[in-house]
Structures are given as C-alpha cells and as structure tokens.
Amino acid sequence: MDLKATAKHVELVVRKNSPEIMAGMAISGVVGTAYLAHQTGYKAATSTFMFEIEGGKQVGAKERFKERARRTWKFYIPPVTTGVLTIACIVGGTKISRSRTAAITAAYSLTERAFSEYKEKVQEKLGERKEQNLKDELAQDRVRKISTSPDVILVGKGSIMCIELRSGRPFLGDMELIKRAEVEINDRIIRCDYASLAEFHNEIGISPTPDAGDFGWVHERGLLKLDISTTLSDRDIPCIAFDYNYLQAL
C-alpha cells in the first residue's frame, strides 16, 4: 500500500470538504463548550463553598476574591480553550467559503466576458441580420429540447407560451409583458445602479430561481437587452423564447 498516495488522497478529501468539516467541528465545539462550562461552574461553586467553610468569610473582600480566583482559574481552561477553537473553526470555515465564492465569481466573470467578446465578434463578422438569424436558429434548437407537454402546468400573466432560455422554463406571457419588464428593470438599473434577475422574474410573473438574487445587471456594464426569438415548441406551438445580453454576479 502506497502510504504517500494515501496521504495525498486524504489531504485532497480534507481540503475539498474543509468547510463541512469545520462546520461539524464548530457544532461539536458549541456542545462541548456548553458541557464543559456546566462542569466548570459546578466545580468552581464546590471549591468556593469549601473555601467559605474553611473560614474564607473571615478575610477581607480583596483577599477572598484572590483566593477564589487561585482555587478556580484552572477549572476554566477547558471550556475557554474549546470556545476559542470553536470560534477558530467558524472563522476558518467562513474564510474558506468566501475564498471559494470569490474564485467562482471571478471565473464566471471571465467566462461571461469572453462570451460577450465572442458575440461582438460574431456580430461584426456576420452583420446584425445574419446574427439574429443565427440566434433564432439556436433558440429554436434549445426550445425543441424543452418539454411543453400538457402535463406541464404553465403559470404567468399572459396567454402566449414563453420560454426563458437560461432556466428552460415555459410560462404564459406575451411580448408586451416581456418588453414592459425589460423597461422596468432598466429603470431600476438607472435609479439604483443595479437590478437582480429575481426582480425580472417577479416582473414577468414567474418564481425566481434559487440563484436569481445573486445575478443581474449593473449600470457600469450597461442596461438589460433581451435577445428575443419567435420559435415553435416541441408540440409545434408558437412561443416566444428569450435570453439576456449578459448577466453579472452581484
């Protein structure tokens, strides 16, 4: 058995799961600190009681305090140590989680920027009309892969089938609803410097996706511009498919 390879594997597993491990240690630390604090309180009270019986009440308040401290300070070492380690686990786990989130956000931003540059180059080479035709074809291919069977319950504020290509969710809406939501979001971007994808979802009448509050549009990057295509669903029902010109981590 290769001990070096095993140790390396264990190191990788620990590093990968370090936030979860630290969270578990923090939970154990909280429980352990509470238990040790209870035990310490009992021991300190017993020691103080014995001191009082031995005549501690007859000395001055200052001397009495010093003697109590001398008798009991060692009892507090275990709960204090456990508490400090617990705090260290919480801080360490939070730091690791923040670092990973920052790394993921940076990677997403680089990918999104590269994709934006790619789209700009496509538009430059093909022209707006050919680019729109290409977008329509791609949207049609993606819509065909999304199930719109009668078993799918559609919700929304309109009467025409619409599909958000990012999440692949069909819902009931219309062109006026979608364009009105686009205008409202751009107004918020101008007034507040940003708007989230969750706000757009609310405007078109669908529930936000779990990550919708973490992504959106910022004023310095420009306003929201929807890429809208008219397509046919997998049941040959006319529908409006749309995507976003860009999304940025907020």
Is residue 235's pLDDT more than 90? no
**Contact call for residues 209 and 201 (beta carbons, < 8 A):** yes
**Residue 156 DSSP code:** B
Question: Tens of pLDDT along 25-81?
Answer: 878 878 888 888 888 877 777 877 776 676 655 666 777 777 777 778 788 888 888
117 is a domain residue: no
Same domain, 39 and 83: yes
Q: Collapsing DSSP states into helix, strand and coil, what is residue 245?
A: coil
Question: Tens of pLDDT along 131-179?
Answer: 778 788 888 888 888 866 665 656 677 788 899 999 888 898 999 999 9
Classify 222 in phi/psi space as left (phi over 0), alpha (psi -120 to 50) or beta.
Answer: left
Same domain, 25 and 99: yes
Same domain, 10 and 95: yes
Q: How many domains does the chain have?
A: 2
Percentage of residues in the chain with pLDDT exceeding 90? 19
Q: Which of 81, 99, 93, 98 is nearest to 26 (CA)?
A: 93
**Residue 57 DSSP code:** G
Q: Which domain holds residue 50?
A: 3-104
**DSSP class per residue in 61-120:** HHHHHHHHHHHHGGGGHHHHHHHHHHHHHHHHHHHHHHHHHHHHHHHHHHHHHHHHHHHH
